[in-house]
Structure 1
């Protein structure tokens, strides 16, 4: 009989870094972070020759809402923090909607965000703006890193360590494996709709640009601003060990994500606004899904717990 007690198990590596992963990161960065910038510039430059009106504005706003709610309600509140329980069909729909945003596959996104919460504003945080030195130069370097450049190359959180629950969910894993397909679907839908509405190839191109690339560009920079600006500036009504801040004025634009200090203080909460009068479209959707029986078990913090973390002067 072999005595296995004499051989201590190696702890699972929390992050992975190798040339193959870095190549994948650079490719994703170019395709889904840089290309939308070029697409947005092209859309603006081509306004005089391509259709631009109610259809294009509707496609931009409509696809932005669908994919934005997929990120905040699906990727973030459901899959990362498990703030509520959803039916299998709802989980799949939210995973697909989030995938169409072009911000990474669901399992990878969750692993990266859980790593962020574990190490927030400390060594190991993949996108903190507060680790690049002091002074104006350090602030600017940190903001550029956290807002955009960190995605070019970074240590990849071990999904077996950070997202084992999702790896056991066959539906979510299946959606994640088809991530690039869902991004293409998110680009194809506005292209087809634009072409059918205008009955022209120019309408299809305009739909692709405004409902696809411009929409990805707008949503990305809204979400990235949470990582960068709201870890430096804003209000901090609740005690949290890192530098998360609230930017309530941007609540509608961010689907409630800008209540960022609230979220870090109560990461298990499905409501980021915490109070009914704080605008939180992500929570409105969760409540609506609850009303029709598609979600349940909302882990809303009690009034006493909220009060206990209130920062006092």
Structure 2
């Protein structure tokens, strides 16, 4: 995409992730490491080398922070070709921003409770809003490498956890994705539907993104 759309989606990433903002640069590097070392001891987030999902995500957090703050050496093949906007990265990773978004979420819920007669049980969703990024990562990386079926032998333990994956927008087709990491469509079988794929096709038709490699 051109620079305008890159900055537009970078800012949209910060706004939509809010209190659980993740740096696109650091995320891209960890994702590439995960594919290169899938389910080995060098994998930054494999469920097969940690005791439980909490220790997996805690170790992932430590690696992420080291990469984010440039305190860990990164192989050249991983550290390239990613968007970067250091102002947004610094803002998104600050505790002022994270606490600010958290307060906004809480205020929204209180207003909905007072003026829209929202049931009190919805307040239990607040922790999910506060930690949306880590929770999403936990579901994809834990479930996607432990539960489900395999279409391909990728020499790892990646699985397809759902047949129709609206829950994680196609990311729980991990076995397919590890087989064809450059494919726009995470679905492989006729019955597997990746809801993100038509969105990518639409953005391509609108000339917002350019698909350089088709598979």
TM (normalized to structure 1)? 0.52
Computed over aligned residues only, the root mean square deviation of the Cα atoms, in angstroms, reads 3.5
1:58-207 equivalences in 2 (<5 Å): 86-99=1-14, 100-101=16-17, 102-132=20-50, 141-146=51-56, 148-151=57-60, 153-154=62-63, 156-157=66-67, 158=73, 161=76, 162-166=78-82, 169=83, 172-180=85-93, 183=98, 186-187=101-102, 190=105
Partners in 1 of 2:102 and 2:55 — Cα distance?
27
Question: 1:34-79, CA deviations, whole angstroms, 9 ceiling, x for partnerless residues?
Answer: xxxxxxxxxxxxxxxxxxxxxxxxxxxxxxxxxxxxxxxxxxxxxx
Partners in 1 of 2:130 and 2:41 — Cα distance?
30
- Native 8 Å contact 1:186 1:212 kept in 2: no
Unaligned residue ranges in structure 1 (runs of 5+): 1-85, 133-140, 302-313
Q: If you compute each CA radius of gyration, which structure gives the higher value, 1 or 2?
A: 1
The DSSP-based 3-state class of the residue aligned with 2:134 is: helix
Kindly state the Cα deviation for residue 160 of structure 1 after the two structures are TM-superposed.
7.2
The DSSP-based 3-state class of the residue aligned with 2:49 is: coil
The DSSP-based 3-state class of the residue aligned with 1:244 is: coil
More helix by proportion, 1 or 2? 1
**Aligned counterpart, 2:140:** 226
- Native 8 Å contact 2:164 2:193 kept in 1: no
- Native 8 Å contact 1:108 1:159 kept in 2: no
- Report how many residues are paired: 199
**Aligned counterpart, 2:70:** none
Partners in 1 of 2:124 and 2:133 — Cα distance?
12
Partners in 1 of 2:204 and 2:79 — Cα distance?
25
Partners in 1 of 2:124 and 2:24 — Cα distance?
24
Question: 1:231-265, CA deviations, whole angstroms, 9 ceiling, x for partnerless residues?
Answer: 12211102312111101246100011011111111
The structure, 1 or 2, with the larger RCO (C-alpha pairs under 8 Å, 6+ apart) is: 1
Unaligned residue ranges in structure 2 (runs of 5+): 68-72
User: Compared with structure 1, are the counterparts of its residues 218 and 175 closer, same or farther at alpha carbon in structure 2 (3 Å cutoff)?
Assistant: closer
- Native 8 Å contact 2:30 2:44 kept in 1: yes
